[in-house]
Chains A and B, each alone.
Chain A
Amino acid sequence: MALADNNKTLEVKALKTWIDTEGGIIHAVDGVSFNIRPGETLAILGESGCGKSLTALSILQLIPKPAGRIVSGKVMFSGENLLEKSEQDMREIRGRRIAMIFQEPQSSLNPVMTIGQQIKEVLPDRRNKSAIEINKDIVGLLDSVGMSDSARRIKEYPHQLSGGMKQRAMIAMALASKPDILIADEPTTALDVTIQSQILNLLARLKKENNMSILLITHDLGVVSQMADRVLLMYAGEAVEDADAVNFFVAARHPYAQKLFQSIPDRSKRKKKLDIIPGMVPTYAGDYQGCRFAERCDKAWDLCFQEKPQWRSQDENGVRCHLYNDTLELQDTLNKKIEQEFVTTDEKVTREEILLDVKQLKVHFPIHKGIFRRVVGHVKAVDGISLKVGRGRTVAIVGESGCGKTTAGKAILQLIKPTSGEVIYDGASLTKMAGNELRQLRKNFQIIFQDPYASLNPRMLVGESIAEGLHALKLESSKETIQKRVKKILTQVGMPEEAYARYPHEFSGGQRQRISIARALAVNPELIVCDEPTSALDVSVQAQILNLLNDLQRELSLSYLFITHDISVVEYLAHEVAVMYLGRIVEFGTAADILDNALHPYTQALLSAVPVISRIGNAGNAGHKDGTQFLLAGDIPSPSNPPAGCHFHVRCPQATEICRQQYPGQTRVTGSHTVFCHLFESAPELTGQN
């Protein structure tokens, strides 16, 4: 059947893309089939390394050559097989009928051309139009993607736009020739949640207006839940489940899908151990004998290791698993479902003892200008934050990128010198110490970082890295005791002892993160600043790390200062939450205070912007808790020149006159819950924060 049905815009059949590497041929995409109807959003979901992006690139014949090659399969699009088309013909398709947007808007835009010039290049009939008409078209396009002040934006360069604006510009370019299909490869992964929800809403609106199909590639179940009509779940190069979104979220069939849901942290799993998928996505080359997921599957039995499961489908839904028969019914006789026991972690409340007390901490970076490097202003990265961390507690600092949360974390550890304010650790004022005195105390507080690849010295053995603190702080003297201690810590974080004598590049991201944790633990700290330790990891690995952090906290009664932008992680493990906006804390309270009873408009916006995985299934609509979404307009202003009055008033829907003039003072709502907002000041004080 060479001709596709009318109602199917794009049909991919048994697509196989292989990549030649030195280690052998990797079957990166191994027989994936799906189709997208007009006006439908298909989400390809999977962890990194599952072949999602390569599937999309294969459709457009954009795979990296000569390493990659499309081995077999068909991509039928309006009656033609795209894989048989020549490079020249493909150019007519790419960008015109099938457009693509990428994860990094920064690197997808040419930095030396204005936005207007770049959009002009892709306009389909620019040769028959006058300059004025073209200009009008571009403005129209930018308006349609919700770009503010588009007439001015045309003359601006990419660096003058924020991340969200750049992504809008990219979408405008993709839409210039009204494509039938838009491929969006992780379009919001690099963006903040409030911006992400803007972009997702924009995509949903454009889809409806243009009756366009979207092939959405993502690893984020929340995004899928908000956007997708259908879901294709991929694992290690194979499609393992194809279902419509409602079905997928209500009753996912494949064990991998079920596991993914269970490993996502959220409030309902508080006090419980996250259900983890052991190991990681396999990357080895060559053919698989059995099911690719078998090694990590807790429902696997002999057959799974011996025989490849066939694709079974019915009514457009399909699954690749031995558990199901041809009509997609669960074969109960074979099903050895193990009810996962949730280990309850008891919450020890030791609130009385304050371990860390931060008072009015400020970090201002001077801005130099001119030949003489005159200081012309300051970037107020952290502008007077105060918080307390109790022993054995987890305090989360939540905020969007650029709000100063990482700087705050480093300033607390004295890795960046604070401009003013005080950090009192266990009664000792760190800000007043220097040199050796501070070095002696360093063993008490440690840090783990976001990027598992940058956090370990590639030239040092894992063991050397972990032992470094022991040497530097002279905690152990003899070689044997150090080695013994390092090996003990390695086992404690779930790594084999042999890791001692190996180099970091031999380990995966999750394992490296474990090693980083081991390095921090080696000196027996009481407080660990966790700077987004899981945001660079896949969901299943994230769950492993969160469990580890939880276990360690229980065993060693550690305190965590958890810096993150991920609300679901906060929901899962934070005891107290501080919400930061532009260098200041706008709301502080217990997790329950913030999550259930958020008062500050920013906190409310932040919470509502997070795509929530709704298992009831209302695909296509934004699936939010209360159904209403509180969309924030605009971007975070620059911390070098924050708006007068309340920093948030520019974006705040409830801003009043006083917000424009004065920074709000602290309002204590309950014993644990404080907020900085004029809305809640019973009697507005005129003194401001200080």
Chain B
Amino acid sequence: MLDFTFKILVTDALLYILVTAIIIFIVYARKHEHLSAPWRQIKNKKLAMSSFVILLFFVITGFLDSIHIRQEIKIDTESKTQQQVVQYSSEVLSLLDLLLTKLRVQTEKTYSAPFAIHSFTKEVTDDQQGKPKLYYPRLKYGGAHLQAQDSRIYDIGKRLLWALFWTLLVIVLCILLVAKFVVSKNDNKNEKTNLNTKLKTVLSGNTSTPWLTILLVMSIPVFFIASLVELGPFYHIMGTDQVGNDVLYKTIKSIRTGLLIGTLTTLIILPFAIIFGITAGYFRGWVDDLIQYIYTTLSSIPSVLLIAAAILSLEVYMTNNPQSFTTLIDRSDTRLLFLVMILGVMSWTGLCRLLRAETMKIRELDYIQAANSLGVRHRKIMSRHIFPNLMHIVLITVVLDFSGLVLAEAVLSYIGVGVDPTMDSWGNMINGARLEMAREPLVWWNLTAAFVFMFILVLAANIFSDAVRDALDPRLRKA
């Protein structure tokens, strides 16, 4: 086994901070009834939990793709001295890359359709007589294990059955685990319950948290992973692109880009929106005027233009200072970070406006007046009285904005001012599909793969954010 060293990209670091912040919030919320109550409500909703399970798989994939390492290169030096210099590869790989090594390295020459064993384009070769002949060559990896007489359909079916078997195994195991460890705590007041009755409770769907639904929904991504394991090394499930890279691999790699844009942007938005919104609403007067002028000016600039300008000037900077960006991944990471920042700077105004208005309402409430008459300082009033009462708006906006930002990335990459062209992203894939859609016969799998993944992520995020809003918005909450 080769040694390795961790490589932490800036966006990775930011993601770690975000994850830590979420964990701290969860720990804090568990101690505070008013914070955890709405989340418990979400926990008991079927639709919300289904979308959460799907989101969770996306998040885990994105997170695995955010732990980067550089592997050690074995240099076979003739002098086997002790002072061997440890060298690390300049290629930065993520844990996900390592898991999907087969998908990553098995590249074909060019396009191939999903599950194809022959190339999509014809090649010229000499036949036995030495005459040139056009034919569809066999793929190097796709279906390479098949003999001429083997049926491809039969092989795929057999492997899918295996995948199904693994899925069932995992789900059954999960059901047993849930029945043993989780159900006993919440749903069975009767202490003398054996595993059998607990199982019945789970399977009948009578648990307060809809475990049965969760597990059934979970079986879909589990089946997907199982098929990936079974089929991935032998076929290109979603075909290959122009330079022969596996499309499915690219699509999965794009998850990280989408997630980072969706989450890190909010990390940039929050401080701006919260600090400016609360101070404007609380102090009124000239502070309010100033902040209002800032955000009305900012929101009147066409955002696409500003983003394009920022990205293009970054391009220029990177060309002029090549020494700062040694690796490809450094370049693309810097560009992603820059995009996130510029998107954040452009989009805090909406939340800021909401928070300002809400603060204005809250500051007139009696408990703020009471705090004033008790001599509580402004800073404390803002942090202890106003901010906690705005939290629901912040959370609702963050989850609602998430899907919008994922889509924004696709649009920006499509017009060429998004993430780096070398970076895997759905926007880039869709951009590339522009020409493929004009080919005859059509190369449809690139666009389809990007579309399906993006659609599932955005749909799950939207459903989940709806549930979050229902639970947190005091106006929608049931009395």
Contacts and interface: CB of A to CB of B under 8 A. Distances in A.
Contacts of A476: none
A599 B33 CA distance: 56
B374 A449 contact: no
Contacts of A447: 369-370, 373
Interface stretch (A143-151, A389-397, A455-463, A636-644): A455-463
B365 interface: yes
Interface in A3-27: 22
A449 B388 contact: no
A454 B34 contact: no
Given A459-B389, A460-B384, A413 B373 contact: yes
Contacts of A449: 366, 369-370
Contact of A22 (B374, B389, B478): B478
B375 interface: yes
A451 B373 contact: no
Contacts of B365: 454-455
A472 B380 contact: yes
A522 B82 CA distance: 74
Chain B interface helix/strand/loop/mixed: helix
A609 interface: no
B369 A443 contact: no
Contact of B367 (A450, A457, A472): A457
A445 B369 CA distance: 13
A503 interface: yes
Nearest to A473: B375
B99 interface: no
Contacts of B372: 415
B371 interface: yes
B377 A472 contact: yes
B374 A459 contact: no
A561 to B, nearest CB: 13
B380 A457 contact: no
A551 B366 CA distance: 24
Contacts of B391: 459
A465 interface: yes
B389 A458 contact: yes
B389 A442 contact: no
A445 B367 contact: no
Contacts of B375: 438-440, 442-443, 469, 472-473
Nearest to B33: A503
B331 interface: no
Interface in B32-64: 33-34
Interface string A193-231: 000000000000000000000000000000000000000
Given A458-B34, A459-B389, A415 B367 contact: no
Nearest to A531: B366
A292 to B, nearest CB: 22
Interface string A431-443: 0000000111011
Contacts of A468: 371, 374, 376
Nearest to B479: A21
Nearest to A529: B373
Nearest to B385: A457
B370 A503 contact: no
Contacts of A472: 371, 374-377, 380
Contacts of B373: 413, 415, 442, 445-447
Interface string A464-493: 010011001100000000000000000000
- Residue among A440, A460, A468, A473 with the highest chain B CB neighbour number at 10 A: A468
Nearest to A436: B375
A446 B373 CA distance: 6
Interface string A112-140: 00000000000000000000000000000
A503 B372 CA distance: 21
A534 interface: no
A445 B375 CA distance: 11
Nearest to A474: B375
B34 A459 contact: yes
B218 to A, nearest CB: 28
Interface residues of B, number: 21
Interface string A362-380: 0000000000000000000
A519 interface: yes
A370 B376 CA distance: 36
Nearest to A456: B367
A459 B34 CA distance: 7
A468 B372 CA distance: 11
A83 interface: no
Contacts of B369: 410, 415, 447, 449
Contact of B388 (A410, A413, A445, A459): A459
A540 interface: no
B316 to A, nearest CB: 41
A341 to B, nearest CB: 36
Interface in A398-434: 410, 413, 415
A446 B34 contact: no
B374 A446 contact: yes
Nearest to B289: A373
Contacts of B385: 457, 459-460
A520 B375 CA distance: 12
B208 to A, nearest CB: 13
A523 B366 contact: no
Nearest to B369: A415
Nearest to B474: A458
B366 A473 contact: no
A413 to B, nearest CB: 6
Interface in B341-391: 365-367, 369-377, 380, 384-385, 388-389, 391
A468 B371 CA distance: 8
B376 to A, nearest CB: 4
Given A459-B388, A468-B371, A503 B376 contact: no
B471 to A, nearest CB: 14
B370 A516 contact: yes
Nearest to B390: A459
B40 to A, nearest CB: 13
A189 B372 CA distance: 31
B366 A455 contact: yes
Nearest to A465: B367
Nearest to B32: A459
Contacts of A520: 370
Contacts of A457: 367, 384-385, 388-389
B374 A442 contact: yes
A242 B371 CA distance: 47
A454 B371 contact: no
A195 to B, nearest CB: 25
A125 to B, nearest CB: 41
Contact of B370 (A438, A450, A455, A458): A455
Contact of A455 (B34, B367, B374, B388): B367
B36 to A, nearest CB: 12
Contacts of B389: 457-459
A450 B365 CA distance: 11
A510 to B, nearest CB: 16
B274 to A, nearest CB: 15
A451 B371 contact: no
A442 B367 CA distance: 16
Contacts of B374: 442-443, 446, 468-469, 472-473, 519, 523
A465 B366 CA distance: 13
Contacts of B367: 454-457, 465
A22 B33 CA distance: 19
Interface in A481-532: 503, 505, 516, 519-520, 523
Given A451-B366, A455-B366, A460-B384, 14 more contacts: A415-B372, A415-B373, A443-B374, A454-B367, A455-B365, A455-B370, A456-B367, A457-B388, A459-B388, A465-B367, A468-B371, A468-B374, A472-B374, A519-B370
9 contacts: A413-B373, A415-B372, A438-B375, A449-B370, A455-B366, A460-B385, A468-B374, A469-B375, A519-B370
**10 closest Cβ pairs, A-B complex:** A469-B374, A455-B366, A459-B388, A449-B366, A439-B375, A442-B375, A472-B376, A457-B367, A454-B366, A454-B365
